[in-house]
Chains A and B, each alone.
Chain A
Amino acid sequence: MGKLTFNEARHLVERTGIGAEWQTIQRFQNLNRQQAIEFLLKNRDMRLPRPPSMSPWSRTVSLRNNMRRKKMIMRISRDEGKKLQTWWVKHLLVTRSPFLERMTLFWHNHFPSSIAKTTQPSMLYQQNITLRKHAFGNFGQMIHDIARDPAMLLYLDGYVSTKEEPNENFARELLELFTIGIGHYSENDMREAARAFTGWGIDDRSGTFVFRANDHDNGVKTFLGKRGNFKGEDIINILLQHPRTAERIATKMWHEFVSIARPDMRIIKQWAQAFRGSNYDISTLIRAILNSDVFWGRHNRGALIKSPIQLTLGTLRTLPYSPAHIDLAHNLNIMGQGVFNHPSVKGWSGGKTWISTQSLLRRNSMMNNLTAGNLNERKNRGGIAKKMPDVSPELLRQWLLAIPPLQAPPTTSGKQRLTRAFVLDPAYQVL
């Protein structure tokens, strides 16, 4: 198999990263497909910047039990939440392992827990660490860990679920969103699952998972046709045996890496089989996707819509524009992809929903602001053009756009002007 062409390399970089960095594209042109995919899977820098200081659970838990202190909790979590958002956004902007961040974002969106509901940013940070630990690892292990994750126990009210008053929130979403999906279970299955998770709580002092045997329902449960004295772990294992779980993850990955169009179910079933066959090894699933014909197919170039993170941070990672004076975390919030700030437990719907009239105007204004400035290169001493690789207008187009531009190029010459025109073209919104 030959080495990647420029277009293939940029496709792989942009689809698995945040933006289309020139240097990575150059590096991938020296590799064949297999080598490039292995490079992506193996070369991961797990280091993180130091997190902001956040109030531990042991400090906030006493405030939580006091109704009058509710406002104080809200204020603390808002301030700390903003710092936590900025912490991740800054890292997304500079990381040398963008694929790791993309996968962490993918799982962050599969298992969302928001600042607004949990009001406990310190736990969301811990959850983020768990997600990135398993990002390319084992999905089964990840879902077991997430079920016991304090932020998730808070987010879906699992921590207050007792045998006397089982809370259905987590059980419902576990079935509906995290695994097999609506239509594959009954309300009774959901209620029985909720019983199995009773007694799962958060320790007041350590802020970590605790099993409270007194609150746990020890009775026999009937779940998806099976009967037994199930605990929460048993419910998760039964769900992992169900073929729909792998199919739903494979479908989500299709929309993350291939196209916003409806997937070909034969391909989904192939990927899901590979996934289950490997006992839910995420790297195996990713290899199957990145090696597939549909991933590389020319008709799927530009078939995804950039998320606000890909659009905004991707532009800043690709081109030498300056984000000075722009609050990126805040802008991601108003463009609909605030990190740790999902609109609901469904996460960001992505795809077409990234673009509404309101958000398109905002996205365009953001790109306008980033690319604004003196376009007269003589007066501007070359502007950003001097910091960009020396490329022909045609190669510049192939680098920045996955599909041909929809608007005619500017009649006045100048690389900075041409770059701006490409960034503002509707074709720049897709990848």
Chain B
Amino acid sequence: MHRRDFLKYAGLISASATVPLLTPEMVFATNGARQNKIVVLVELKGGNDGFNTLVPFTDELYYKYRPRIAIKQRQVLGLNKDVGLHPRMKALMPLWNAGQMAWIQGVGYHNPVLSHFRSMDIWDSASNSNQVIEAGWLSRVLPKYKKGLHGVALNKGQAQLGPLASSNLNAVTMQTPKTFLSQIKRISDVQPSRLNPAIAHVSEIQHQLFSTGDQLAQKMGRNPKHSGVSFSKGVFGHSLESVAEMIINGIDAPVYKVTQDGFDTHAGQRGGQDNGLYQVANGLASFQKSMQRAGMWDHVLVVTYSEFGRRAKENRGGGTDHGTASSHMILGGKVRGGIYGEHPDFSRLDANGNVTFTTDFRAIYATLAQRWWHQPSPWGNLGHLPFV
């Protein structure tokens, strides 16, 4: 039986059946978008303090190390007997209760580098600590997964492709699809030139604008569907609203990247980080609602990442200095909620006062490759985590 015949047949049956057979997934399938497994990468820029995010509220050392900035036990939103969420992340508690939130503890890597950009390069490229890889880690997974558009990175200023940066990925940066569409009207398509590497790069990017621009114009040019929920004001909320709208209107990127700034909390951490986490939680709560309404929540994984965590002990300025391991969050309709990995041992700090990581960050990437996109993992030896 041909696929189309089957769907017609299924449609006929559903008229008489009590349960509609045409689930949102099938509608999605009929739109011709076979690749419907989306990852939304949430970059927490500056090095987010995992210990004040997923709080080890029964660990005495935590309170001893952080007399001023620790989250009080009674304020922690308990997830289990050991850890709980920062109170400003309350908006995401329904997802924990629904079993759609996973946390990976102690995420880091061997021989940690405490430089922001070098450590972010390591996360972006999935390299070892002492190894330089130019291409983003997604270039080792996505080209085999699908053709065409691979990803969209959104930010207000200069969005960075990060893990999407590679000559074999088709990825674009933008502020919003709306700005993209309005600016693209003023530029014309061009055949890539091979005269030299400089003009080759310029003309390739200009040409690439048009394949993405075409898709955006077709699907969102006129009367695009809206997210259907209100998002918090601010760059992060706007970016996530754009992502939601692109997904709802059927843009076929498997990866979106959004960024929340302000996690480099050397001083006055409770002000800065609290606000950052609030933005992240509220933005993601709106995003989840929007995906749920569109029947897409089962097709999306939200994954946070950051260049490093922070020092176990607070510093003199009520902040924390660059550290190593941190906790990261996965959300999605298909997520197996729970706490994964071991919490780092506060009683065993290294010479710099940093904890030792317990889970290699590439185990998360490997899990996305294998268990989400069903692709071979380039990091096979690092195992994977059953969060999906």
Interface positions of A from 309 to 366, Cβ below 8 Å from B: 333-334, 336, 343-346, 352, 355-362, 364-365
Whether a CB of chain B sits under 8 angstroms from the CB of A253 is no
Q: Contact check, B158 vs A406: say whether CB atoms are below 8 A apart.
A: no
Whether a CB of chain B sits under 8 angstroms from the CB of A303 is yes
Q: Contact check, A67 vs B318: say whether CB atoms are below 8 A apart.
A: yes
Whether a CB of chain B sits under 8 angstroms from the CB of A161 is no
Given contacts A70-B268, A345-B117, contact A355 B205 (CB under 8 A): yes
A contact residues around B180 at 8 Å (CB): 357-358, 361
Q: Contact check, B186 vs A364: say whether CB atoms are below 8 A apart.
A: yes
Question: In the complex, A333→B191 CA distance in Å?
Answer: 30
A contact residues around B55 at 8 Å (CB): none
Q: How far in angstroms is the closest Cβ of chain B from A17?
A: 18
Given contacts A67-B317, A344-B116, A407-B188, contact A357 B205 (CB under 8 A): yes
Question: In the complex, A399→B227 CA distance in Å?
Answer: 49
Interface positions of A from 17 to 74, Cβ below 8 Å from B: 67, 70
B contact residues around A352 at 8 Å (CB): 197, 201
Interface positions of B from 148 to 168, Cβ below 8 Å from A: 157-159, 161
Whether a CB of chain A sits under 8 angstroms from the CB of B138 is no
Whether a CB of chain B sits under 8 angstroms from the CB of A288 is no
Q: Contact check, A360 vs B202: say whether CB atoms are below 8 A apart.
A: yes
Question: In the complex, A121→B328 CA distance in Å?
Answer: 37
Q: Contact check, B190 vs A426: say whether CB atoms are below 8 A apart.
A: yes
Whether a CB of chain A sits under 8 angstroms from the CB of B175 is yes
Whether a CB of chain A sits under 8 angstroms from the CB of B174 is yes
Q: Contact check, A426 vs B199: say whether CB atoms are below 8 A apart.
A: yes
Q: Contact check, B198 vs A430: say whether CB atoms are below 8 A apart.
A: yes
Whether a CB of chain B sits under 8 angstroms from the CB of A299 is yes
Question: In the complex, A403→B202 CA distance in Å?
Answer: 13
Q: Contact check, A361 vs B202: say whether CB atoms are below 8 A apart.
A: no
Question: In the complex, A364→B208 CA distance in Å?
Answer: 15
Given contacts A67-B268, A346-B117, A356-B205, contact A260 B175 (CB under 8 A): no
Whether a CB of chain A sits under 8 angstroms from the CB of B193 is yes
B contact residues around A430 at 8 Å (CB): 196, 198-199, 202
Which of A182, A358, A406, A407 interacts with B175 by CB under 8 Å? A358
Given contacts A67-B268, A364-B183, contact A336 B158 (CB under 8 A): yes
Given contacts A357-B209, A365-B183, A403-B195, contact A305 B202 (CB under 8 A): yes
Q: How far in angstroms is the closest Cβ of chain B from A65?
A: 11
Q: Contact check, B196 vs A355: say whether CB atoms are below 8 A apart.
A: no
Q: How far in angstroms is the closest Cβ of chain A from B169?
A: 12
Which of B157, B175, B195 interacts with A302 by CB under 8 Å? B195
Whether a CB of chain A sits under 8 angstroms from the CB of B203 is yes
Q: Contact check, A358 vs B197: say whether CB atoms are below 8 A apart.
A: no
Q: Which of A305, A333, A357, A407 has the most CB of B within 10 A?
A: A357
Which residues of B does A touch, CB under 8 Å? 114-118, 132, 157-159, 161, 172-175, 179-180, 183-184, 186-188, 190-191, 193, 195-199, 201-203, 205-206, 208-209, 212, 267-268, 317-318
11 more contacts with CB within 8 A, not counting A303-B198, A357-B174, A357-B209, are A67-B318, A182-B132, A302-B195, A305-B201, A346-B117, A356-B173, A358-B175, A359-B158, A361-B184, A368-B186, A406-B190
Q: Enumerate 27 A-B pairs (CB-CB under 8 Å) in ascending A order.
A: A67-B267, A67-B268, A70-B267, A182-B132, A299-B196, A305-B198, A344-B116, A355-B205, A356-B172, A356-B173, A357-B180, A358-B174, A358-B175, A359-B158, A360-B202, A361-B174, A361-B183, A364-B187, A365-B183, A365-B186, A368-B186, A403-B199, A406-B191, A426-B203, A426-B206, A427-B199, A430-B199
Which residues of A does B touch, CB under 8 Å? 67, 70, 168, 172, 176, 182, 259-261, 299-300, 302-305, 333-334, 336, 343-346, 352, 355-362, 364-365, 368, 403, 406-407, 424, 426-427, 429-430
